[in-house]
Structure 1
């Protein structure tokens, strides 16, 4: 599942209905995102999915020369958002293997949030004034590093912020009651009845001023001038124009296969290195911040430092003195970029898939969906191949269907048909890349 925080921000953005608004993914990011703050997006390592936004503790004011003009006061539009969901399921069943048990049960779930928010905006004249400024001289060190790394930079132009702190709640309870008959030995049989309740409750306090959603526009630098692309589709635009490179078209599934194969074949890992990578990534899947930190450390030269499984991976790379170390680091970055496209739910399901050793079967299944629909831009029905479903059953099949559902496909257990959604293409590509690389690492 998405975290409580991300689930709330996604619902909030959907309710506001502005397609340019982006939900904030974590509480840590919510403390960094402010009007005029910068967003970094790393240089793409794939043609098929985009890197994640990385909020920075740097404002656009830090890289521009000061001016006598003062930005217009922010416009603030207050509103309230309440979201409360309650579900209750009841059922009965019996267990006859071993102890004989007849049970009745109910499951109750509730999630809730009450937010007092405001939309913070600035007039177009504010951004026009900023574009009249030039970069500081000498060029800030931060900007030089971004230029050399080929990253894209964006500026936050609008935010949805909390006016007052709030508490996000998630509560669930399971009640079981019934009769049981337990044969303690050959001659004695005990009868009885009883019940049990399990309650799970989570709360997250979000402080006032936290950003729940944001809009951002790309920065473009030519010489010492700073442009802000307020009305331009910036998917193919570079921040540093002198380094702009035209990307090849990626219209076929075969291009994705070749990209993954090229990344994997360039990195010749020892068995020990593969084991370290596989177990290290597995241990980090539940911690998005740790995954992003590992990306940041791998982009440093020499490699950065961190603790935990990420530190173990970095240490293993340092000990690799072969010429393949650079390609190994690039493969890990490629894998991490793909994993960070996935949701919290998918990373949890992916961890279970690694434990259950079903990555290869899932890879084949995702390929069977992507390959025939790769160029399709409309919603059309498709049917899963039964021979690919056969190796997956029970819990393994449920995990796989949930992975596909999280990409945007509406899959139901025991039903091999569904509908292709063009918006599912990017997360499906990231899932295919993730499964492919992890399967290679898992092989002897």
Structure 2
């Protein structure tokens, strides 16, 4: 729920996406100036256009040599001022619709959504930033300690280093609460079943304390022989010369399908016992954010080929998989790490409630049908077209009524509202989150292996294109 709130706040306050939302309340203290971040391994994918950042728990002062003046970097700690305070109002997070206003007085608004409603919500926000002239003065006076273990590991892995220099924080305590009703009333039971929490209050409300970091802006640090530079300007993409074509928005299914086969296709080649091991591990980390982060870091270590990296863990839920990977040939281990990382990245884009619904879907053996349904949604241009459209209503027909309610809730959390007759209503820019849901369903369906995969949509599309037309001359491919 924290991720849901911060992503919405950023989407409304920063449409240019210069601010990045903090996605875990547990880590919010490490996304403040002057903490250092690592940009995770660049893996371009169709369900996430923004970079992934990983907190390091190191501050800038930790990796700098003492300067001539003997001063620390405490002078870089930002302090807010009254001119940078904002009130967020007139919002509707459930439907991802609304407006933002900046005013002196706070405002209370009602949040409503199909199947759920929320109590009044008001939040005051404040921007804080390191003055760039002070940061530049520190850069000229202090060099990087190249003997620091963190810097040495950074040099070996080639990871990109960033410094947090601006944040958006809550200037007062705020509470966001959802009162689950109608078709979502069973969500509390599912959440309690998989996460061990029977309290509906726990899963439907979140307290944002005063001073909590909600979003941040980071600047890249380039290090060379103790010197460090700051990338103040983003590099412009290389201009394309020659003939240019009008870019026509296209459905996303083809791109998602090609990419998920590239990374997750290895799962279909595995023996059943290994698929079960991976599935058990994935479902375990879906229930536990700490395990999720540990597995992600282990897979990053494999992909980055960190020197002396060992796949050891104290967690019984991870031991079988890590032991298998450690004893696998290098190429095989790398392929599996890519597939697992890709799956985890997709799951990380989903809300906690969606993870609970996915776990329940696995038990109910309805993942394959859900995959076909989400694939049909991606056949439409969800990026720019907000007009309703229809999908095959039979894909919403399940043996149990709860299966249908579960599936409709799962999709609606990805910003597409479904009706029983197959009418689909896209909400604000659902293309990436729907793509992430498709990838998650695809991987889980491959790993569970108890239901047939849906037909390859690309093959079906090509067959339709190759059918002879009745009123047009026929052309034969080369």
TM-score, normalised by the number of residues in structure 2: 0.67
2:33 aligned partner: 35
Displacement of 1:323 after TM fit? Answer: 5.5
> Secondary structure at 1:423's aligned position in 2?
coil
Displacement of 1:297 after TM fit? Answer: 2.2
Matches within 5 A, 1:88-237: 111=119, 118-130=126-138, 132=140, 136-138=144-146, 140-162=148-170, 166=173, 168=175, 170=177, 200-202=200-202, 209-221=211-223, 225-232=227-234
CA contact (8 A) 2:64 2:145 kept: no
Asked if 1:427 corresponds to 2:433, the answer is yes
C-alpha separation between the residues in 1 aligned to 2:253 and 2:177? Answer: 40
1:258 aligned partner: 258
CA contact (8 A) 1:52 1:341 kept: no
> Secondary structure at 1:44's aligned position in 2?
coil
**Gapped runs of 5+ residues in structure 1?**
89-106, 175-197, 237-249
**Gapped runs of 5+ residues in structure 2?**
88-105, 182-197, 239-249, 302-308, 451-478
Q: Compared with structure 1, are the counterparts of its residues 221 and 200 closer, same or farther at alpha carbon in structure 2 (3 Å cutoff)?
A: same
CA RMSD of aligned residues (A): 4.1
> Secondary structure at 2:379's aligned position in 1?
helix
> Secondary structure at 1:299's aligned position in 2?
helix
User: How many correspondences in the alignment?
Assistant: 385
> Secondary structure at 1:285's aligned position in 2?
helix
Displacement of 1:423 after TM fit? Answer: 2.8
2:336 aligned partner: 328
Asked if 1:337 corresponds to 2:345, the answer is yes
2:184 aligned partner: none
Displacement of 1:58 after TM fit? Answer: 1.4
2:391 aligned partner: 384
Structure with the greater alpha carbon radius of gyration? 1
1:397 aligned partner: 404
> Secondary structure at 1:418's aligned position in 2?
strand
Q: Compared with structure 1, are the counterparts of its residues 395 and 150 closer, same or farther at alpha carbon in structure 2 (3 Å cutoff)?
A: farther
C-alpha separation between the residues in 2 aligned to 1:391 and 1:135? Answer: 63
> Secondary structure at 1:30's aligned position in 2?
helix
C-alpha separation between the residues in 2 aligned to 1:323 and 1:385? Answer: 41
Displacement of 1:336 after TM fit? Answer: 0.9
C-alpha separation between the residues in 1 aligned to 2:86 and 2:161? Answer: 32
C-alpha separation between the residues in 1 aligned to 2:420 and 2:365? Answer: 22
Report which of the two has the higher share of helix: 2
C-alpha separation between the residues in 2 aligned to 1:392 and 1:144? Answer: 57
1:24 aligned partner: 22
Displacement of 1:57 after TM fit? Answer: 0.5
Q: Compared with structure 1, are the counterparts of its residues 118 and 56 closer, same or farther at alpha carbon in structure 2 (3 Å cutoff)?
A: same
Q: Compared with structure 1, are the counterparts of its residues 85 and 312 closer, same or farther at alpha carbon in structure 2 (3 Å cutoff)?
A: farther
Displacement of 1:227 after TM fit? Answer: 3.5
> Structure 1 residues 425-434 or 70-79, which shifts more?
70-79
Asked if 1:76 corresponds to 2:80, the answer is yes
> Secondary structure at 2:146's aligned position in 1?
coil
Displacement of 1:356 after TM fit? Answer: 1.4
2:270 aligned partner: 269
CA contact (8 A) 1:153 1:219 kept: yes
Displacement of 1:35 after TM fit? Answer: 0.9
1:240 aligned partner: none
CA contact (8 A) 1:288 1:340 kept: no
CA contact (8 A) 1:41 1:52 kept: yes
> Structure 1 residues 339-348 or 111-120, which shifts more?
111-120
Displacement of 1:146 after TM fit? Answer: 3.6
> Secondary structure at 1:294's aligned position in 2?
helix
2:297 aligned partner: 296
Q: Compared with structure 1, are the counterparts of its residues 212 and 46 closer, same or farther at alpha carbon in structure 2 (3 Å cutoff)?
A: closer
Q: Compared with structure 1, are the counterparts of its residues 200 and 339 closer, same or farther at alpha carbon in structure 2 (3 Å cutoff)?
A: closer
> Secondary structure at 1:58's aligned position in 2?
strand
Deviations 1:291-311 (A, max 9, x none): 122111233322141414234
Question: Which of 354, 357, 365 lines up with 2:373 in the alignment?
Answer: 365
C-alpha separation between the residues in 2 aligned to 1:322 and 1:133? Answer: 44
CA contact (8 A) 1:46 1:334 kept: no
Displacement of 1:362 after TM fit? Answer: 1.6
Report which of the two has the higher share of strand: 1
C-alpha separation between the residues in 2 aligned to 1:17 and 1:265? Answer: 37
